[in-house]
Amino acid sequence: MSDKMENFDERIPEIVLNSGHKMPVVGLGCAGHPMPQVEQLESIFVDAMENGYRHFDTAACYGTEEALGKAVAKALEIGVIKSRDELFITSKLWCTEADHDLVHPALKQTLGKLGLEYLDLYLIHWPVRVKHGASTFNFAKDEILPFDIHGTWKAMEECSILGFTKSIGLSNFTCEKISKLLENATIPPVVNQVEMNVGWQQRKLVPFCKEKGIRVCAWSPLGAYGNSWGTNAVMENPILQELAASKSKTVAQVALRWIYQQGASLIVKSFNKERMKQNIQIFDWELTEEEMDRILQIPQSRGFGGDMFIHPTGPYKSVEELWDGDI
């Protein structure tokens, strides 16, 4: 076993989810644009495992399930990990499959691409249903259909009971939608994965989820810096830049450490070896109360409004409706 592996437990702490399963608090994001070829991606994911990442966040719509599956097989073959159980693999149900009878087949397809027998976590990607068979991203607005929150969740519960995933959860759900889901749920969601960073601090959702025992997991923790859906609100924020300089840390490290100190988990994407290492060096130092107060001064706005799901005759007629006013 290499030094990196021996230090792994110290480097990325784990938390216990309400399902009883453990999840490393930092995961590697597996969405990006432009996307490297499968072989290159496979080696990026193996690099990440060599550097201590054990939690990987993919989705049916990212096109990275296959490469991640190959990386898992490779890591086992070359001894970076001894067993698949050392990993925490998340994937997500896309909107075109968000219908009770389509959930199980969609999960089976995901497992087939990954070459795995089970996921650690399966999430409903969005509280949105799009006509089955429609284009993943370029669907027509009239193909957006009413979302059956209870029926879709029931199918998620069935998948968990059958053992195809250890835990089930949500992504991009508001407090209102979670409350509605909990009215009928027999298995509560373990996680709600949402946009969260210093520029969109989720001040309503974080305490709500804490009270319900649901772990908030931050996507775009760096504001998706440099991505087509990204902003520079995090990486070029002057307060973060000052804090980073005064603490001899990088802006990214301060941004990620802030999320960790909010009691949330985070999924950060870097396909660059040095940056991926840097992004997990956030556990042996902290931000003081005064520094946290300065971050509270940062103006707030959502980076990704979800416009693609809005249509005047669809189930969500405005961005306000999609987010239940939390914008």
- Rule CB under 6 A: which residues touch ligand NAP? 29-31, 57, 125, 171-172, 193, 219-227, 250, 252, 267-272, 275, 278-279
Choose between 155 and 254: whose C-beta lies nearer to ligand NAP. 254
Q: Which residue shows structure tokens 């949330």?
A: 264
- Distance CA(264)–CA(274), nearest Å, equals 24
- Distance CA(60)–CA(136), nearest Å, equals 10
Task: Report the amino acid identity of residue 308.
Answer: M
Q: What is the dihedral of CA 74, 86, 165, 16, to 10 degrees?
A: -150
Residue of minimal Cβ distance to ligand NAP: 29
- Distance CA(206)–CA(196), nearest Å, equals 10
Considering the complex, what minimum distance in angstroms separates the CB of residue 126 from ligand NAP? 7
Please check if 311 is assigned to a binding site: no
Choose between 68 and 75: whose C-beta lies nearer to ligand NAP. 68
Catalytic residue selected from 53, 62, 118, 122: 62
Considering the complex, what minimum distance in angstroms separates the CB of residue 179 from ligand NAP? 20
C-alpha pair distances (Å), 169 with each of 13, 56, 74, 127, 182: 20, 15, 28, 12, 12
C-alpha pair distances (Å), 7 with each of 3, 4, 13, 50, 52: 6, 5, 11, 11, 8
Considering the complex, what minimum distance in angstroms separates the CB of residue 191 from ligand NAP? 10
Q: Is residue 62 among the annotated active site residues?
A: yes
Considering the complex, what minimum distance in angstroms separates the CB of residue 258 from ligand NAP? 13
Choose between 160 and 172: whose C-beta lies nearer to ligand NAP. 172
Choose between 214 and 267: whose C-beta lies nearer to ligand NAP. 267
- Distance CA(24)–CA(39), nearest Å, equals 26
Considering the complex, what minimum distance in angstroms separates the CB of residue 91 from ligand NAP? 10
Residue 259: how many other CB atoms lie within 10 Å: 26
Helix (H) / strand (E) containing 211: helix 205-212
**Which DSSP letter does residue 306 get?**
-
Choose between 227 and 241: whose C-beta lies nearer to ligand NAP. 227
**Which DSSP letter does residue 172 get?**
S
- Distance CA(304)–CA(194), nearest Å, equals 10
Considering the complex, what minimum distance in angstroms separates the CB of residue 94 from ligand NAP? 11
- Distance CA(116)–CA(111), nearest Å, equals 5
Q: Are 199 and 222 in contact (CB under 8 A)?
A: no
Choose between 164 and 309: whose C-beta lies nearer to ligand NAP. 309
Residue numbers annotated as active site:
62
Binding residues: 125
Binding residues for substrate: 125
